[in-house]
Structures are given as C-alpha cells and as structure tokens.
Chain A
Amino acid sequence: MDSGKASKITRRSFLRISAGAAVLTGVHVPKTARAESAGSLSTLIDLSLCDGCADRNMPACVQACRSINANKIPQVAENIPEPWPRKTIEDWSKKQGVFNRLTPYNYLYVHRADVMVDGRSQTLFVPRRCMHCDNPACATICPFSANHKNKNGAVVIDPDQCFGGAKCRDVCPWEIPQRQSGVGIYLHVLPDFMGNGVMYKCDLCNDRLKEGKKPGCIEACPRGAMLIGPRKEIEAEAQARAHQINGHIYGQKENGGTATLYVSPVSFELLNQTMTKKPGQPDMKPGVKRRMAGTDPLGKAVLASPVLGLALAGAAGWFSRRKERQARQEEDRD
C-alpha cells in the first residue's frame, strides 16, 4: 500500500472503518482464537486498534505481563560475582519498575510512533516483545539448549539451564532477550569465569497456553488489538485485515518468518524511522534477514556427508581390491 492513501484516513475514523468493515465482510476474530490448539500458534497485533492505553499509567498488556511474570526472577545474589576478565554486570533488580523498554523484569513495552504521512501527523502504538520466530537462532544455537522452540510456536528460555552468556541476544535481529546477572546455575559452577546470569524474555505465557488460557497481554487488551490462534487462521486474518485497510504486515517474512504478525495502516518503513535501535528497544526494519539462512546449504552438505563418506569408501575399496587382484595375477604369471 502506498503510504499516501493511509494519510487520508484519521486514526479514529480508521478504527471505526476497520471495525465496521470487519463486521460487514465477515472478517472476524477466528473462532479458534484461543490457545487450546495443540498445533502451531500465531499472534496478531493490530496497530490500527492499539491506542497504547492512553488513559492508563501503564498499558494494560504491559501490566498483565508484569503481573504474570512478577515472581519469575529469584532473589538476586547480594554480591553479584564480577565476571572475569570483562567485568560486565547487568543488574535490573533495583530498576524493576522500568517499563519503557525490555528488561529482565519487563518482557513487553509499547513504543509510541509519531509519523508524518504526506504532511499529516499520525500516532501509532507498537507493542514490542519477542517475535517467536519460526526458526529462531536464539534457540537453535544456544550452546546448552536452554532456549527451545515448542511445537506450539512459543520460544521459551529455561531459567534453570541458562548461563546468561547472552548469545541469544547477539543472534536475535531485535536483540530481545535481556540478562539479569547474579541469578541462575552459573553461580554454582564457575561464576567468575563462565556465565553471567539468566536471559529473560516473553515466553508467550507458555504455562497459560498449556492450561488453555490466552497469553496475559492478549487477554488484558481492552481494545482487542491482539489475537492468538492457529497459525493458518491468524495468517488469513492478518491478510484480510491488511487488505481491508490497504495496510501492511510485519513478521511474515522477517527473520525467515515469525509467529507474530503486526498489521499496520502505516508502512513499517515509516514506523521503523521512529525507532532508534538501543539496548532493550528494538527497531522494526522491514525484511530483516535470517542470518543463519546463509549457513543452511553447508548444513545440508553436512547431513549428506555420511553418504559421501560411504560412497568414497566404496570407490576406494573397489580400486584397492582391483589393485590387489592385479598384483596377485602378476604374481601368478611370474
């Protein structure tokens, strides 16, 4: 969609139009927009509906998320061991109230995007959290497999296995996971030389999903701006909503595809311009590549390498037998 068209619609009228259009065209919240499904789930965040809970001190989704995860981090060591030789300590235990960025105590925040579209200003609110990627490098190359993608699509860090090396944050294009030093298994191994805490991020309320409940943020949203449901239904819903508003989708192709789809009336290029990538505040670069995709051809060659070894052994065996047979024949002739 061309951003010019979007600019002719005010935010409030857009909300009305999109809601009305949804009713008229039969586009609806998927019946199965619940979490009981055993298959792969996706979530939808409709930026045309989110108003950032302007009437509250803290957006309802953020508040629900914080409330559900309030006791997730155990008591932080009084004297956090100083890592050697690089002495980085990330301690958020005394700044637990921060909610304008991702922290180990805050897995969701809402970014306010003031954009100018064809000379007219618009304000959108963008809830930001883990995207729960289809093939998440944060999980697949975690050295201890402390981070794992579940069948339902939730990418979940096990705090009992995580050493807090922050590799997951380094390989995430949005640098989502956040570290709390002074907690976790590393304290019981070699805290000065190995590990530095535990990484925390949104786990899509995986425990609630198991109980058939929705993630806290989705349940709490007063505007119904977030949905969860079977992947295909959510994808169809995102397409339908984007089509209705002549809008844009983010998360379908980014980092190789994710289980989080944003629908926006404003292009993500414009939204991204309002985001300066900072620690705990990811940007939203459209089309961001999955870097590990480059290694896939070599990975496939590795999977084929046992066959290569067997083929070479067969060929070498045939040649060496022939050589020995020839040697014996010459010997017999002599």
Chain B
Amino acid sequence: MTEKILSEKNRVVRHSRLELIEHWAIAISGLILLATGIFELPVAKRYYIVTVPGLRWTADFITSLYLHYAAALVFTAAGIFHLAYHGMRGETGLLPKKGDLSASVTVIKSLFGFGQEPPMHKYLPEQRLAYAGMAWIIILLIVSGLIKTYKNLYAPDLSLAVVLTATWIHNICFVLFFLAFLAHMAAILLRPNWPMVRGIFTGKVRLDYARHRHALWIADLEKTKEPLIPDRDLRCGKV
C-alpha cells in the first residue's frame, strides 16, 4: 500500500493502483453476477424484460450461465486475491475494531446533524463494519457458488442435503449482496462522503478533506518523513 501526502497538489494517496483494480474487479463482476443471477430466475419472459431492445438474451438461461461463470471467474479470483494478498501483508486496517459499533452510531448521527463527528482513521468505523459484513457475504457466495458449479460439471447427483444447503446459502447471500450494494450506493449519496468517491476512481482524495475528517490517519502519515513506508509498519509502531 502506498499512502503518500502530496501537499503541493492538496491530495493524499488513499488507495494503491492494485487496490483500485481489486475493488473494480469485484464491483463490476459482482454487478454482472447480480444481473445474471436474476436472469437465472424465470423472470425475463414473465416481466417482459425480453422485449427491451438488447435484452432478448435474458430469457436464455444458458446464455446467462455463460456470463455468470465468466463473472464468477473474475469475482472469485479477485476475492481470494484480496484475502490472501492483504492477509499475507498483515494489512488489517479494514477489519472492525473494538468500539466500532458505538462509534458508527456517533458518525451516522453526525451525518444527520446530531453531534460532532469524532476524529477518524483512514476508514470510518461503519466502513469497517460494512467491510466485514460484505466479506462474509462474498465468502459464502463464493463457497456455495463453487459447490453449485462442481455439481453442474461433475456431480449432478451430489447429496441433496449439500445441494439444498449450497443453493439456499447462495440465494440468501444473493439477496444480502444486493442489499449491501444498495447500502453502499446510499452511503455515496451522503454529502460528507462525496470527497471519498474521487478516491475510488483515482486513488487520491483531497488533503484538506482528509485533514478534517481522517485526522488520525493524516497524523499517522505525518509522523514519518518517508511516505513509502507501508501502512502495516505504521500500525505496528515500527517507526
């Protein structure tokens, strides 16, 4: 992770190029999975989606399955990459910390004009909680999806108990993933979060915004003169 203060440009590097690739690989493949997952249900003909120009293919479950598999390939590889890569590097900044729940309530209240926002680290407490929730949903989707794929390819007569468990975990997590996606989009609509949107496209956010809202993170960064020192080392107090 390369976090760096660019004072002359009034920017701070929040996400590395690799993290941006991870985020967008999971986001885009996840959206394709949501859409093709819906089209694996018999809805396209019933709801006249097939009559929409360009969406004729939605009634063909096999075409949707091609797309679903293609997106699952990216989604699974990116998800496993994320866990393994950041796990190996000991980067735990997005994992929930003690007191995140009450801090989240304070932050959310402040977003609606009740009270003051506490000084925050790189990630907001509710971001950390949402991350943990989303991570579990994605892990369950991946595991159940792999079981279903294995069944499709090699074991159509797999134990019914296993098949039903995988199916219902997949279906329930599909709904939760959709709700989590909506909540993610709703968070973007909140004005105080707008400056972070730039960060997920360019990797950088405004330094004045970060000083104001992520004071603890900027303080950590400023403790060191060398901007290339990894976040992990900063958190471990090696400098």
One of B42, B77, B149 near A308 (C-beta < 8 A): B77
Contact with A along B72-99 (1 / 0, CB 8 A): 1110111111001100110000000000
Whether the pair A140, B77 counts as a contact (CB closer than 8 A) is: no
Whether the pair B62, A313 counts as a contact (CB closer than 8 A) is: no
Q: Residue A108 at the B interface, CB < 8 A? A: no
Q: Residue A4 at the B interface, CB < 8 A? A: no
Chain A neighbourhood of B152, CB < 8 A:
135, 140-141, 292, 295, 299
In the complex, A320 Cα to B78 Cα: how many Å? 17
One of B18, B70, B228 near A298 (C-beta < 8 A): B70
Whether the pair B150, A135 counts as a contact (CB closer than 8 A) is: no
Report, as a range, how many residues of chain A touch the other chain. Answer: 35 or more
Whether the pair A145, B164 counts as a contact (CB closer than 8 A) is: yes
Q: Residue B179 at the A interface, CB < 8 A? A: no
In the complex, A317 Cα to B45 Cα: how many Å? 47
Q: Residue A331 at the B interface, CB < 8 A? A: yes
Whether the pair B84, A310 counts as a contact (CB closer than 8 A) is: yes
Known contacts A309-B84, A313-B80, A316-B85; decide if A300 and B157 are in contact (CB<8 Å): no
Whether the pair B80, A148 counts as a contact (CB closer than 8 A) is: no
Contact with A along B42-86 (1 / 0, CB 8 A): 100111100000000001011001100110111011111100110
Whether the pair A165, B42 counts as a contact (CB closer than 8 A) is: yes
Q: Residue B126 at the A interface, CB < 8 A? A: no
Q: Residue B146 at the A interface, CB < 8 A? A: yes
In the complex, A278 Cα to B38 Cα: how many Å? 28
Known contacts A298-B66, A302-B149, A316-B85; decide if A85 and B80 are in contact (CB<8 Å): no
In the complex, A317 Cα to B91 Cα: how many Å? 12
Whether the pair A295, B66 counts as a contact (CB closer than 8 A) is: yes
Q: Residue A291 at the B interface, CB < 8 A? A: yes
Q: Residue B40 at the A interface, CB < 8 A? A: yes
Contact with A along B141-177 (1 / 0, CB 8 A): 0100110011111001100100110010001000000
Q: Residue A171 at the B interface, CB < 8 A? A: yes
Whether the pair A299, B45 counts as a contact (CB closer than 8 A) is: no
Chain A neighbourhood of B226, CB < 8 A:
331
Residue of A whose beta carbon sits closest to that of B59:
A170
Q: In chain A between 284 and 312, which residues have their CB closer than 8 angstroms to a CB of chain B? A: 291-292, 294-296, 298-303, 305-306, 308-310, 312
Residue of A whose beta carbon sits closest to that of B153:
A299
One of B18, B47, B145 near A86 (C-beta < 8 A): B47
Chain B neighbourhood of A171, CB < 8 A:
61-62
Contact with B along A85-98 (1 / 0, CB 8 A): 11010000000000
Interface pairs (24), CB distance under 8 Å = A86-B46, A137-B62, A140-B156, A141-B65, A143-B40, A145-B167, A151-B157, A167-B61, A196-B46, A292-B62, A295-B65, A295-B66, A299-B69, A299-B152, A302-B145, A303-B153, A305-B74, A309-B78, A309-B80, A310-B81, A312-B81, A313-B84, A317-B84, A320-B18
Report which B residues bind A (CB closer than 8 A).
18, 40-42, 45-48, 59, 61-62, 65-66, 69-70, 72-74, 76-81, 84-85, 88-89, 142, 145-146, 149-153, 156-157, 160, 163-164, 167, 171, 226, 228, 230
Question: Which 4 residue pairs across A and B have the least CB separation, nearest first?
Answer: A309-B80, A165-B42, A313-B84, A298-B69
| Known contacts A86-B45, A144-B167, A317-B89; 7 further A-B pairs (Cβ under 8 A) | A88-B46, A140-B156, A303-B146, A309-B76, A312-B77, A313-B88, A320-B89
